Amino acid sequence: MHELLEGLLLPSFGNEALLERHDGATLNISGAKLAFTTDSYVVRPLFFPGGDIGTLAIHGTVNDLAMCGARPLYLSLALILEEGLPMETLRRVVESMRASAAVANVQLVTGDTKVVDQGKGDGIFINTAGIGAIEHGISISPRNVRPGDAILLSGDIGRHGIAIMATREGLSFENAIASDCATLWEPVKALLDAGVEVHCLRDLTRGGLSSALIEIAESAGVRCAINEAGIRVREEVAGACEVLGLDPLYLANEGRFVAFVPEQEAERAVVILRNVDVSSEATCLGQVVNGPAGLVTLRTQLGTERMVDMLSGEQLPRIC
Amino acid sequence: MKYVDEYRDPEAAQQYLAAIRGIVTRPWTIMEICGGQTHSIVKYGIDELLPNEITLAHGPGCPVCVTPVEVIDKALQIAAQPNVIFCSFGDMLRVPGSIHPANANGSDLFSVKAAGGDVRIVYSPMDAVKIAQQNPDKRVVFFAVGFETTAPANAMSVHYAKQNRVSNYSVLVSHVLVPPAMEAILASPTNCVQGFLAAGHVCTVMGYTEYQPIAAKYRVPIVVTGFEPLDLLQGIYMCLLQLEQGRCEVENQYSRSVRREGNQPAQQLVAKVFRVVNRKWRGIGEISHSGLGLTADYADFDAELRFGLSQYRAQEDSECISGLIMQGAKKPQACTAYDNRCTPDHPLGAPMVSSEGACAAYYRYRRLRNKNLVEGSGV
């Protein structure tokens, strides 16, 4: 994906907004500052503990806007339905989208529906695009990340990845692990309302915490030095990772983000985040330091330091 | 998390390190057998915490790495056939086969899957049997690789399939055994290993009595060791204490899982379904009596016989030194292809793609740090 972006898409379409490599584009239109983003949702299974493809399609796009520091306002919705999809399934997904949009306080204002032949789709594919209003004067972008910045993490990691994998593979754990799928505008708004000088925000989706940090370290030309002690993983997620040989740093999340703020604002920002439900377990994860560009290092609890690498392909369960 | 957090406790780790520093008087080389132990060591930087006198040599215990390239080729050929569902542990899907005309669909199982082959990742061989029962019109093959650890579950799948007449199920077997590989390392004229950390999971199944003749014959201490940082530090301490005291015994650090006699029902099942055979180890060569094959009673479930695959000797990349790495003679950075012509995206050898491979561990946890920090600006 990373290679596709750098090797094909950016060279083909490169423009100022796109080259920011941010979750959404920041645009000035007739004096109004807007954020614009789009995302497509293909997930198997369609339903999983804690959410479904509908909740993902709303929260995912809302969160991309929030990561631009924009108040999410309007979404478009495009449905690609496979012939033979039970109407009841579609109703459930639409109801999830309605409920999620209500929570996120966004309106679906335009849309499209296409039907493809049986076998040509995976039940439902969804695309949503979103527009949000940027109502503050701060520039939130990887290029504003600088040595000395504190890296904050909004909560425990890995729940969405394990929830999906457990449902997909029919793995049962003593306690079902629910996805962390949630809207992230509220904690971002809290930071901005309090006047925290946010340098960059990034939600942790596919590729997990490690990919988010590596991408920002690459874009900003810095090194991210993080502490294992700042990473929270629910006991049941940690257990599933132990059994399957997976690393929580690479697991997908749908309701977590990292924030880069000036060092002197870190403590205050963590307190602000902890006052919001979805980020009540926020921690200070580490610090931005001088190069090498693109490197993420992790100080283990034993006091040693190792690099955190970009994953080559999907994480695969080990043999024994 | 219970049974994990207490084995990663920083204070206890410092106490073991102090104890290790307190008894070491001269250089020693200790080999950890299992690839899972290697990954833990590199991930937590345990080798960097040890005094300079102690060198950890990484051993051959990565099931993915030692599976011969010819067997990978056979898996690719079977998986590409119509009406076949090829089931495997996920780790095997990225392992490169040889450049062989029969592998028209590509050089690993992922490529075969991308070209339309029905390749499925399973978590247990019993899942593959279930798939066979659900798809009676398909031929379902499970890739039965691994050490003594995976042998009981693989044996169970074959035994169950025979009992329940699941005739469309078969296994492509490439099982290997730890003790003959240890003997091969110790018997080598260039051997530098003076003590072993035996693999805790293997010994959970097999117990550790079979290591006693090896310890006595080659005068090496062998400590059955777990996989968490404190397990490894305690195992290293126990091994070091024996070396310093001139003892060569088999000791059990991983007593919360390993019993002297092992898991006997599991051993009995393995002995019923499998027999000991000579096996080729990728990068190392053939080792006598070092593997398992199906017994005559279960030969009907042998995928090699069912698919009539011919035997041949494949060419491997001559630059890959995985054999030397798996015998502890070289570290991954000593390979001229490491991190340039050999990467996880374009591997020359299996240790670069396996989650238990030494090359993958160094690449994943140390690559840029070594390049940019240790040699350059410093951490």
HSE, CB side, 13 Å, CA atoms: give it for residue A203: 31
- Domain ranges within chain B, ordered by starting residue: 1-372
Mean pLDDT over all residues of chain B? 92
CATH number at A74 reads 3.30.1330.10
Is residue B166 scored above 60 in pLDDT? yes
Structure tokens at A194: 């309090």
pTM listed for this prediction:
0.87
Residue A183 lies in a domain: yes
Q: Reduced to 3 states, what is the DSSP secondary structure of residue A269?
A: helix
Residues A92 and A147 grouped into a single domain: no
Q: Which residues of A touch B91 (CB under 8 A)?
A: 316-319
Instruction: Indicate the pLDDT class of residue B369, thresholds 50, 70 and 90.
Output: low
Q: Which residue has the higher pLDDT, A96 or B2?
A: A96
Is residue B105 scored above 60 in pLDDT? no
Q: Which residues of A touch B372 (CB under 8 A)?
A: 291-292, 295
Is residue A252 scored above 60 in pLDDT? yes
Test A317 with B89 for CB contact under 8 angstroms.
yes
Residues A47 and A179 grouped into a single domain: no
Residues A148 and A229 grouped into a single domain: yes
Which residues have CB under 8 Å from B91's CB, separation 6+?
A316, A317, A318, A319, B63, B64, B354, B355, B356
Among A235, A244, A305, the residue with its CB nearest the CB of B1 is: A235
Give the residue from B34, B92, B175, B365 with the most A CB atoms within 10 Å of its CB, the best one to mutate: B365
Q: How far is B319 from chain A (nearest CA, A)?
A: 22
- CATH number listed for the domain at residues B1-372: 3.40.50.11740
Residues A111 and A231 grouped into a single domain: no
- Strand order through the sheet with B250-252: B54-61, B28-34, B195-199, B222-225, B250-252
Test A238 with B372 for CB contact under 8 angstroms.
no
Test B8 with A306 for CB contact under 8 angstroms.
no
Structure tokens at B79: 């998986």
Is residue B376 scored above 50 in pLDDT? no
Is residue B149 scored above 80 in pLDDT? yes
Residues A166 and A274 grouped into a single domain: yes
A254-274 pLDDT, tens per residue? 999 999 999 999 999 999 999
Q: Which residues of A touch B94 (CB under 8 A)?
A: 313, 316
Instruction: Indicate the pLDDT class of residue B14, thresholds 50, 70 and 90.
Output: very high
Q: Which residues of B touch A210 (CB under 8 A)?
A: none
> Of A98, A133, A168, which residue is a domain's last?
A133
The pLDDT assigned to A3 comes to 78
Is residue B18 scored above 70 in pLDDT? yes
- Min mean pLDDT across A181-185, A263-267, A282-286, B352-356 is at B352-356
* Alpha-carbon distances, residue B144 vs A61, A287, B160, B161, B304 (angstroms): 43, 45, 15, 14, 12
Is residue B106 scored above 80 in pLDDT? no
Closest-CA residue of chain A to B14: A302
Among B345, B355, B373, the residue with its CB nearest the CB of A318 is: B355
> Of A81, A111, A133, which residue is a domain's last?
A133
Count the domains in chain A. 2
Is residue A313 scored above 80 in pLDDT? no
Q: Which residues of A touch B373 (CB under 8 A)?
A: 292, 297
Among B13, B64, B229, the residue with its CB nearest the CB of A319 is: B64
Residue A319 lies in a domain: no
Residues A283 and A174 grouped into a single domain: yes
Residues A204 and A112 grouped into a single domain: no
A14-71 pLDDT, tens per residue? 888 888 878 789 999 998 999 999 999 998 889 999 999 999 999 999 999 999 999 9
CATH number at A267 reads 3.90.650.10
Instruction: Indicate the pLDDT class of residue B370, thresholds 50, 70 and 90.
Output: low
Test A302 with B63 for CB contact under 8 angstroms.
no
Is residue B368 scored above 80 in pLDDT? no
The pLDDT assigned to A14 comes to 82
- Min mean pLDDT across A151-165, B162-176, B300-314 is at B300-314
Mean pLDDT over all residues of chain A? 93
Residue B289: which H helix or E strand, with range?
Answer: strand B285-294
Is residue B346 scored above 90 in pLDDT? no
Nearest alpha carbon to residue A46 among A75, A77, A85, A102: A85
Closest-CA residue of chain B to A316: B90
Residues A122 and A80 grouped into a single domain: yes
Residue A2 lies in a domain: no
B58-88 pLDDT, tens per residue? 999 999 999 999 999 999 999 999 999 999 9
Which residues have CB under 8 Å from A150's CB, separation 6+?
A260, A261, A262, A263, A265, A266, A269, A284, A286, A287, A288
Residues A126 and A170 grouped into a single domain: no
B179-189 pLDDT, tens per residue? 999 999 999 99
User: Is the Cβ–Cβ distance between B223 and B196 less than 8 Å?
Assistant: yes
B192-208 pLDDT, tens per residue? 999 999 999 999 999 99
Q: How far is B246 from chain A (nearest CA, A)?
A: 30
Residue A7 lies in a domain: no
Nearest alpha carbon to residue A67 among A97, A26, A29: A26
Among B45, B343, B372, the residue with its CB nearest the CB of A305 is: B45
Among A242, A291, A307, the residue with its CB nearest the CB of B367 is: A307
Residues A107 and A192 grouped into a single domain: no
CA distance B362 to B297: 43
Residues A154 and A268 grouped into a single domain: yes
The pLDDT assigned to B379 comes to 31
Side chain identity, residue A200 = C
Residue A232 lies in a domain: yes
Residues A59 and A162 grouped into a single domain: no
A98-145 pLDDT, tens per residue? 999 999 999 999 999 999 999 888 899 999 999 999 998 888 999 999
Nearest alpha carbon to residue B358 among B14, B10, B3, B60: B60
The pLDDT assigned to A182 comes to 96
Test A245 with B355 for CB contact under 8 angstroms.
yes
Is residue B356 scored above 60 in pLDDT? yes
Q: Which domain holds residue A301?
A: 142-307
